[in-house]
Structure 1
Amino acid sequence: MTASRTTPVTERCDHCGDPIDTTTWHPAVIERDGDRRLFTFCERECQERWRRR
């Protein structure tokens, strides 16, 4: 038997903190500098604002 690893679903936008409907597609970014981290966003505009930070 092997153990499986799961990643918790992020339910808030990493830029503005608004809730994310996890049943539909939303933009995401994996940052690879240092530790890998998945950033999720409620809409493409928040993703663009986050990139310009």
Structure 2
Amino acid sequence: MTTIEPSRTALVLIDRIDRIVALPLAPLSGADVVRNATRPADAFLEAPSARR
């Protein structure tokens, strides 16, 4: 398994929320895609060494 070092890691999410939510996606809806993208972002920001 890969170990991620928060102090040396960047998380890049591209803001396409309006377009993704509007798409008729399958097997996940656009809203599911957005919700799943927020989970790693939240975890990254909760890391002790996260810079904002």
Q: Compare the two structures and name the one with the higher helix fraction.
A: 2
Scaled to the shorter chain, the TM-score interval is under 0.3
TM-score with structure 1 setting the length: 0.20
Relative contact order (C-alpha < 8 Å, sep 6+): which is higher?
2
TM normalised by structure 2 equals: 0.20
The structure that has the greater radius of gyration is: 2
